[in-house]
Amino acid sequence: MITLNPSTTCGPSSWLLYKLIKPHLSTSPQLILTNPKTSAMASPKLTPFVAVVALMLAPSLAQLNPFFYTFTCPQLPFIVLNTVSQALQTDDRAAAKLIRLHFHDCFANGCDGSVLLEDVPGVIDSELNAPPNNGIQGLDIVDNIKAAVESSCPGIVSCADILALSSQVAVVLSGGPAWIVPLGRKDSRIANRAAAANLPSPFETLDVLKSKFAAFGLSSTDLVTLSGAHTFGRSRCLFFTGRFDNFNNTGLPDPTLDAAYREQLRQLCATPVTRVNFDPTTPDTFDKNYYVNLQNHKGLLQSDQELFSTPGADTTAIVNRFAASQLLFFIQFGNSMIKMGNLSPPPGTPSEVRLNCRRINPSTTTLHDVI
């Protein structure tokens, strides 16, 4: 068990963070901390304000290190926590936007911040122009985090690490688990628009989804777990209205979509770009209701419902386990996020710590490297 108190933390930034969050803690403050090697968990209770303390409380993981910025940017946890908290005050979808950016970044060329790069003719063919990234949002939140970080720690923290850390903070502030966030990624100086085809589509069958995840060393459990991020956020109607009447050219509705829910969605979808909650019960809370919805045939996307309704699939049992235990879901979510966050760009990829997350640094800077 890991209890949050000054004696268990490391360094001055940990002590300051403890003082910051202590008024919000219960009588016996405890953290949910997951480790991909042990799957250990301290407690089923979690206070959202302890999001980034996990950075100070774990050994190095893989090639990345949760202590990477302890001395070069000790303010980083505070900056991310404060900026994401501010974003959530005015935008209920801010948390979902951030985790989607991280996911879309890692599945195209590894976790290198390349999803954030905008077009530069002859230099950058932006991943933002790829169909799977059509309509992706949240870059303004990343810009705000980056600006605050650069003000305190210029040229130190990568945009790729900002995506990883802000995703964790966003989940915790929405009621979800904390996990150790390994840090030390670099930002790619290139984009790979074609690689965005690796991203799962809302129209795909379970076999296709599993093959896409397996290509990155991610298992069926990782697929079901990471899909659980659809417990909050919204989707545009154009991604699921095809399930209403002529599903897969059958002339019939998708039989795995609850009929009453289908008609409710039909009423909500005034236009193809209208956004509808992924979770009709607790739309802005990170919890296990996503899996309960799948059991009730209320998965919004075909790709969601495939996890439960595909006959004979190994994913059905995983959905059932998570629907029965939020604790198990939270443990595995941290493990799978670490695993996904460890996806690296191809060796030799030119890299740097970007000063502006949307643009590569000028060639005159001295921050270039290779991954």
Tell me: is residue 140 an annotated ligand-binding position: no
Query: Is 114 part of any known ligand binding site?
Result: yes
102 is known to lie in a ligand binding site:
no
Kindly give the pairing relationship between strand 187-188 and strand 350-352: antiparallel
Residues contacting 72, CB < 8 A, separation 6+: 153, 156
To the question of whether residue 230 is assigned a binding role by annotation, the answer is: yes
Q: Is 112 marked within a binding site?
A: yes
Q: At what angle do helices 76-90 and 159-173 cross, to 10 degrees?
A: 60
- Annotated binding-site residue? 279: yes
How far, in Å, CA of 285 to CA of 281, rounded?
Answer: 9
- 187-154-184 Cα angle (round to 5): 40
CA distance 57 to 66: 8
Chain-centroid distance of CA 301 in Å reads 18
314 annotated as ligand-binding: no
Q: Which of 24, 104, 297, 368 is catalytic?
A: 104
- 27 in a labelled binding site: no
Active site residue 24: no
Cα 311 to Cα 49, 95, 306, 314, 317: the distances in Å are 41, 33, 9, 9, 11
Q: Is 105 a known ligand-binding residue?
A: yes
On whether 143 is known to bind a ligand per the annotation, the reply is: no
Binding residues for substrate: 200
Binding residues: 105, 110, 112, 114, 127, 200, 230-231, 279, 282, 287
Binding residues for heme b: 230
Return the active site residues.
104
Binding residues for Ca(2+): 105, 110, 112, 114, 127, 231, 279, 282, 287
